[in-house]
Structure 1
Amino acid sequence: MAKREWILLIIIAGFLLAGLGLFVMLQPKAAENPGLVIYAYDSFVSEWGPAGRVIPKFEERQGIKVSVISVGDAGQVLSRVILEKENPRADIIVGIDNNLLSRALEEDILEVYKSKNIGLIPEELLFDSSFHVTPFDYGYFAFVYDSQVLNRIPESLEDLTAVEYRDKIILEDPRTSSPGLGFLLWTVAVFGDDYLDYWQQLKPNLLTITDGWDSAYGMFTGGEAPIVLSYTTSPAYHVEYEESRRYRALIFKRG
Structure 2
Amino acid sequence: MIGKKNLIVVFTLLLTAISTVSFSAEQEEFVIYAYDSFISWGLAEATMHKFEDANNCTVTLIGVGDAGQVLNRVIMEKDNPQADIVVGIDNNYLAKALKYEILEPYTSKNIELIPQDLILDPSFHLTPFEYGFIAFVYDSDALPEPPESLTALTEPAWKEKIILEDPRTSSPGVAFLLWTIAAFGEDGYLDYWEKLKPSILTITKGWDTAYGMFTAGEAPVVLSYATSPAYHVEVEQSTRYLAAPMAEGFYRQIEGMGIVKGAKHRELAEKFIDFMLTEEFQQEIPLTQWVFPVNPNVRLPKSFDYAAKTDRFLSLDPDQIEQNYDTWLKAWTELMTR
Aligned to 2:231: 237
Q: Secondary structure at the residue paired with 2:149?
A: coil
Aligned to 1:159: 152
Aligned to 2:164: 171
Q: Secondary structure at the residue paired with 2:214?
A: helix
- The equivalent position to 1:250 in structure 2, one of 240, 244, 249, is 244
Q: Structure 2 vs 1, CA of residues 113 and 212 (structure 1 numbering), >3 Å: closer, same or farther?
A: farther
Q: Secondary structure at the residue paired with 1:182?
A: helix
User: Residue 117 in 1 paired to residue 110 in 2?
Assistant: yes
Number of residues of Structure 1 aligned to a counterpart in Structure 2 = 224
- The equivalent position to 2:39 in structure 1, one of 36, 45, 60, is 45
TM-score calculated relative to the size of structure 2: 0.60
Q: Tell me if structure 2 keeps the 8 A contact 1:34–1:64.
A: yes
Aligned to 1:3: none
Q: Structure 2 vs 1, CA of residues 82 and 144 (structure 1 numbering), >3 Å: closer, same or farther?
A: same
Aligned to 1:221: 215
Q: Tell me if structure 1 keeps the 8 A contact 2:26–2:56.
A: no
Moved more, 70-79 or 110-119: 70-79
Q: Tell me if structure 2 keeps the 8 A contact 1:238–1:245.
A: yes
1:17-36, aligned counterparts within 5 Å? Answer: 34-36=28-30
User: Residue 150 in 1 paired to residue 166 in 2?
Assistant: no
Q: Tell me if structure 2 keeps the 8 A contact 1:72–1:212.
A: no
Identical counterparts, % of pairs:
64
Q: Structure 2 vs 1, CA of residues 207 and 35 (structure 1 numbering), >3 Å: closer, same or farther?
A: farther
**Alpha-carbon separation, structure 2, partners of 1:171 and 1:66:** 36
User: Residue 72 in 1 paired to residue 77 in 2?
Assistant: no
**Over alpha carbons, which structure has the higher Rg?**
2
Q: 1:56, CA displacement in angstroms?
A: 2.6
Amino acid at match of 1:238: H
**Alpha-carbon separation, structure 2, partners of 1:80 and 1:226:** 36
**Alpha-carbon separation, structure 2, partners of 1:32 and 1:207:** 56
RMSD over aligned CA atoms reads: 2.3
Amino acid at match of 2:45: G
Deviation digits for residues 35-88 of structure 1, max 9, x if unmatched?
2222222322233x4222122322233232222222222222222222332333
**Alpha-carbon separation, structure 2, partners of 1:207 and 1:169:** 5
Q: Could you list the runs of 4 or more consecutive aligned residues of structure 1 that deviate by over 6 angstroms after TM superposition?
A: none
**Alpha-carbon separation, structure 2, partners of 1:224 and 1:68:** 36
Aligned to 2:86: 93
Deviation digits for residues 168-195 of structure 1, max 9, x if unmatched?
3222233443332222222112222111
Q: Tell me if structure 2 keeps the 8 A contact 1:76–1:177.
A: no
- The equivalent position to 1:206 in structure 2, one of 196, 200, 206, is 200
Unaligned runs of 5+ in 1: 1-30
Q: Tell me if structure 1 keeps the 8 A contact 2:147–2:245.
A: no
Q: Structure 2 vs 1, CA of residues 224 and 83 (structure 1 numbering), >3 Å: closer, same or farther?
A: farther
Q: Structure 2 vs 1, CA of residues 131 and 243 (structure 1 numbering), >3 Å: closer, same or farther?
A: same
TM-score calculated relative to the size of structure 1: 0.78
Deviation digits for residues 178-214 of structure 1, max 9, x if unmatched?
3322222221122221110111222233333334434
As a proportion of its length, which structure holds more helix? 2
**Alpha-carbon separation, structure 2, partners of 1:73 and 1:147:** 30
**Alpha-carbon separation, structure 2, partners of 1:131 and 1:64:** 25
Moved more, 87-96 or 109-118: 87-96
Q: Structure 2 vs 1, CA of residues 132 and 170 (structure 1 numbering), >3 Å: closer, same or farther?
A: same
Unaligned runs of 5+ in 2: 1-24, 250-338
Aligned to 1:182: 175
Q: 1:152, CA displacement in angstroms?
A: 4.5
**Alpha-carbon separation, structure 1, partners of 2:33 and 2:202:** 26
